[in-house]
Amino acid sequence: MSDFPPLNRTVPDLADVLASARVVALPLATRFRGIEEREALLLEGENGWAEFSPFVEYDDDESATWLRAAIEFAWGDLPTPLRQNIPVNATVPAVHVDRVASILGRFDGCRTAKVKVAERGQTLVEDIARVRAVRDEMGPEGRIRVDANGGWNVDEAEHAIHALAEFDLEYVEQPCETVPELVEIRRRTKYMGVPIAADESVRKAADPLAVADAGAADILVLKAQPLGGIRRSLDIIADAGLPVVVSSALDTSVGLSMGAWLASAVPELEYDCGLGTASLLSADVTDDPLRAVNGSIDVRRVVPSPRLLDGYAASAARRDWWLERLRRCYALL
């Protein structure tokens, strides 16, 4: 597998990329990933709209990969979808148990919930209470997965997985930070039958196949923007030979449409995908957001509303910051 398959079309000039660029700042319904507002740059190409939204702390080298994905989705040749609807999971941030029911209520018909755990400053007791509340809300037939974002060491992860196993976990996502730690925690807990999924160890790695090669995970969580686009993600899936969950990076509905397109092209999609996160936003860029309806989202291009682009436009200073970031990242392509 090459690091980056060709875009199959000439990369557009920088002027063309900048011509339609709009920067928005969308409020979140719930504080998530330490932020209360999600900034994103949207741009329009021959195919339609795409999103460039690496988190603000990411450096230019990492962010350029996100820009490559946006350019591919807006101008590149894309695979033909194999399905028109993508089942998605609800996402429960690291909130107090009193808020679990209201958050789940934002995800229409979702049979699966991903629950954030190992939040800095919180305890395992709080994690257990949150997961228990989700199980109580979803009943015995609901599917629950937890995501630690690499927040535990191996001993902490082993203890936590034992403590949470009573809730019949579908899998544990990124329990530890490094590939060797994932190998060890998978070895220690294999007898319990709780699969280990890898996210950060794929999308932030120099070699996204290292997790699969090391036998460090049972499932890969893939995000189209951080991995450089749909075609590169499909190459990783083909080479890894593991089941995948296509997820989002707290995108607007424009960014989620890229994730849905990727999920639509995965030959075998065994798990509900983490593409329902528009429900975590208090506002979006379109009047027809990609929110879960009966537990799934459609595979379609999203067209932003001029009214919403204007209403949630970032400040002039933040707009200029994003445009300059785009210029720097484009130079790295």
The three-state secondary structure class of 157 is helix
Nearest to 299 by CA among 107, 112, 82, 113: 82
- Answer yes or no: is 199 a known binding residue: yes
Identify whether 114 is a catalytic site residue.
no
Whether 173 has a binding-site annotation, put simply, is yes
Whole-angstrom distance, CA of residue 105 vs CA of residue 108: 7
Residue 98 in marked binding region: no
Residues forming a β-bridge with 38 = 26
Residue 12's closest CA among 60, 73, 80? 73
Listing DSSP states for 47-79 in one string gives: S-EEEE---TTS-HHHHHHHHHHHHHHHHS--P
Annotated active-site residue 204? The verdict is no
Set 114, 190, 204, 223: catalytic member: 223
Residue of 202, 193, 198, 257 lying closest to 230 (CA atoms)? 257
Burial level of 25, CB count in 10 A (0-12/13-18/19+)?
middle
Which one, of 201, 208, 270, 273, lies nearest residue 234 by Cα?
208
**Burial status of residue 287 (CB atoms within 10 A of its CB: 0-12, 13-18, 19 or more):** exposed
State how far the Cα of 303 lies from the Cα of 333, in Å rounded to an integer.
26
Alpha carbon 288 to its chain centroid, in Å, reads: 20
Residue closest to 219 by CA, chosen among 260, 266, 252, 265 = 266
Could you tell me which residues are annotated as the binding site?
147, 173, 199
Could you tell me which residues are annotated as the binding site for Mg(2+)?
147, 173, 199
Q: Which residues are catalytic?
A: 116, 223
